[in-house]
């Protein structure tokens, strides 16, 4: 893994693969993804940031996945399956182009993948695939538990494992062995779909490296309760004798919510992880680094201290702060993995323990420009206050777009931003981008929606809501009809962020 360097002054764009254009109802790892990498490279933009690429669960959120290791089979490209001889052709399904309709995309993709598996089973397709698949099965130690989890879930109508019959919920050996025999084909289909995802991702990642574009991945600190990870290894989490969570994750009441946020993820038994030398964490991080060159850890603060909420609570009010593992985990991970090119998401109201841990780890933290106008010029989110060793954003997947913020911000904050950034009223977003790119921050990154000057309708996620999130997509013409990439290239050149630029 390549070490992050403060002298590596670079620029990047956030664009999740589901948002790529294409005819199949959801962005995928096919031709548009390669085209996107080439557009970044040609503009001198050397960072592509994605959201977690695991199999999404409740609410289609990439931050609530059925596995911390598996890939999202909905991202598999039908066109590349045709290229591999696993499909004869693909008819366009007639799904919306401007957003992801998951209720229609998921069964259509499942049908396509089932056909690819049947052809593979019949000996069709690229003859090298079978050997590659057999190696994949042996190498991915998480794969069998994941396939079993997903097959049992399907057999019980998709319900959470907490509601399965006891013999499956508690993983009774005889019941699982019988299920494996009776559902051998289902298990193999799930494993094969995972192979296809990783085969396509690795090829795309290889292309990005050849074009000097580094992928920034995203690692949620917590895993979903309804996941293969918790079901298969309950000892790693704070569960009771019936394998229900004792406490769950969230954040306390703050300026944004009078009752806090109740996320519901089970919390880690950190004593258990320490006793095992944090092996599961090392495996998880290695898996993330296999997919990306740099990894952003979401809610990094929980390694320092975290909010533990009683599992039966209705809100996050009655939680308590508990100490996380601190620097011990990162010392152990460095011993196992070597360099850790990590970006720490350190946003929010933090205790003194968090900046102390950040300093101990040496990881860069984050700044979000639109957060900077609620106080005064001493605000740490304003560009003149950025340290070099930081990653600066106009916004993230959880924020409104910059134009959306501009259109709805309080009058005082708009006036502050207008004066501070010397904004052109005809293109206020351009002023935000210029200030970010000009700043001292090592990396300057913007969501593609900001490059396109899109409003609130294009935001990716609204925290605390479950409807209409994670659905936004680019239209085929949006990257080619206007000067968006030319402007990005000019900005990279102007502010010394083009590929290969360095500062002393």
Q: Which residues pair with 257 in a beta bridge?
A: 254
**167 Cβ contact partners less than 8 Å away, ≥ 6 residues apart:** 174, 175
**How far is Cα of residue 152 from the mean position of the Cα atoms in its chain?**
26
Q: Which residues pair with 262 in a beta bridge?
A: 250
345 is a catalytic site residue: yes
Start-end of H helices in 298-343: 327-337
Q: What are phi and psi of 215, to 5 degrees?
A: -90, 130
Q: What does the alpha-carbon distance between residue 126 and residue 106 come to, in Å, rounded to a whole number?
A: 26
Cα distance between the two ends of the chain: 22
Marked catalytic residue, from 298, 305, 400, 434: 298
Token code pair at residue 94: 């007639």
DSSP state of 257: B
Token code pair at residue 189: 């289909």
Marked catalytic residue, from 144, 167, 379, 398: 398
Q: What does the alpha-carbon distance between residue 278 and residue 267 come to, in Å, rounded to a whole number?
A: 15
Q: What does the alpha-carbon distance between residue 199 and residue 195 come to, in Å, rounded to a whole number?
A: 6
Three-class SS state of 72: coil
Marked catalytic residue, from 345, 346, 434, 450: 345
Token code pair at residue 461: 């996620």
Q: What does the alpha-carbon distance between residue 229 and residue 224 come to, in Å, rounded to a whole number?
A: 8
339 is a catalytic site residue: no
**Could you give the count of Cα atoms lying within 13 Å of 293 in the half-sphere of its Cβ?**
18
83 is a catalytic site residue: no
Find, among 185, 186, 177, 181, the residue nearest to 156 by Cα. 186
Asked if 255 contacts 95 with a C-beta cutoff of 8 angstroms, the reply is: no
Cα dihedral sign, 215-220-223-229 = positive
**How far is Cα of residue 341 from the mean position of the Cα atoms in its chain?**
16
Q: What does the alpha-carbon distance between residue 108 and residue 294 come to, in Å, rounded to a whole number?
A: 33
Catalytically active residues are 298, 345, 398
């Amino acid at each position: 893994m390549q070490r992050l360097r403060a002298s590596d002054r670079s620029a990047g764009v956030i664009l999740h693969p589901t948002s790529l254009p294409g005819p199949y109802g959801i962005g995928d790892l096919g031709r548009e993804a390669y085209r996107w990498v080439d557009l970044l490279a040609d503009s001198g933009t050397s960072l592509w940031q994605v959201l977690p690429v695991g199999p999404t669960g409740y609410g289609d959120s990439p931050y609530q996945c059925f596995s911390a290791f598996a890939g999202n089979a909905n991202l598999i490209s039908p066109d590349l399956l045709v290229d591999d001889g696993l499909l004869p052709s693909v008819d366009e399904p007639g799904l919306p182009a401007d957003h992801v309709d998951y209720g229609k995309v998921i069964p259509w993709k499942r049908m396509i993948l089932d056909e690819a598996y049947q052809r593979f089973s019949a000996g069709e397709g690229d003859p090298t695939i079978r050997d590659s698949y057999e190696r994949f099965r042996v190498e991915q130690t998480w794969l069998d538990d994941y396939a079993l989890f997903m097959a049992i879930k399907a057999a019980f109508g998709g319900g959470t494992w907490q509601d399965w019959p006891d013999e499956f919920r508690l993983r009774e050996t005889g019941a699982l062995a019988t299920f494996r025999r009776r559902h051998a084909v289902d298990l193999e289909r799930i494993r094969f779909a995972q192979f296809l995802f990783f085969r396509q991702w690795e090829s795309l990642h290889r292309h990005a490296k050849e074009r000097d574009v580094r992928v920034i991945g995203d690692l949620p600190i917590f895993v979903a309760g309804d996941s293969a990870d918790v079901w298969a290894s309950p000892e790693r989490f704070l569960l009771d004798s019936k394998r229900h969570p004792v406490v769950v994750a969230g954040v306390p009441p703050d300026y944004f919510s009078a009752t806090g946020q109740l996320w519901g993820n089970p919390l880690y038994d950190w004593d258990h992880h320490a006793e095992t030398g944090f092996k599961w964490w090392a495996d998880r991080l290695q898996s993330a680094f296999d997919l990306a060159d740099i990894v952003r850890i979401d809610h990094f603060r929980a390694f320092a201290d975290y909010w533990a909420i009683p599992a039966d609570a209705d809100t996050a009010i009655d939680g308590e702060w508990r100490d996380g593992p601190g620097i011990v985990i990162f010392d152990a991970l460095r011993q196992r993995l070597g360099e850790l090119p990590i970006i720490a998401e350190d946003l929010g109201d933090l205790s003194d323990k968090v900046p102390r841990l950040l300093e101990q780890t040496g990881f860069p933290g984050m700044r979000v420009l639109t957060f900077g106008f609620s106080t005064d010029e001493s605000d740490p989110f304003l560009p003149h206050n950025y340290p070099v060793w930081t990653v600066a954003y106009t916004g993230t997947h959880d924020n409104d777009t910059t134009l959306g913020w501009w259109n709805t911000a309080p009058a005082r904050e708009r006036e502050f931003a207008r004066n501070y950034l010397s904004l052109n009223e005809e293109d206020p977003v351009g002023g935000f981008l210029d200030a970010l790119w000009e700043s001292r921050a090592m990396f300057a990154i913007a969501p593609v929606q900001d490059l396109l000057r899109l409003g609130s309708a294009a935001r990716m996620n609204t925290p605390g809501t479950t409807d209409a999130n994670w659905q936004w997509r680019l239209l085929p013409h949006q990257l080619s009809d206007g000067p968006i990439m030319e402007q990005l290239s000019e900005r990279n050149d102007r502010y010394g962020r083009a590929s290969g630029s360095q500062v002393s």
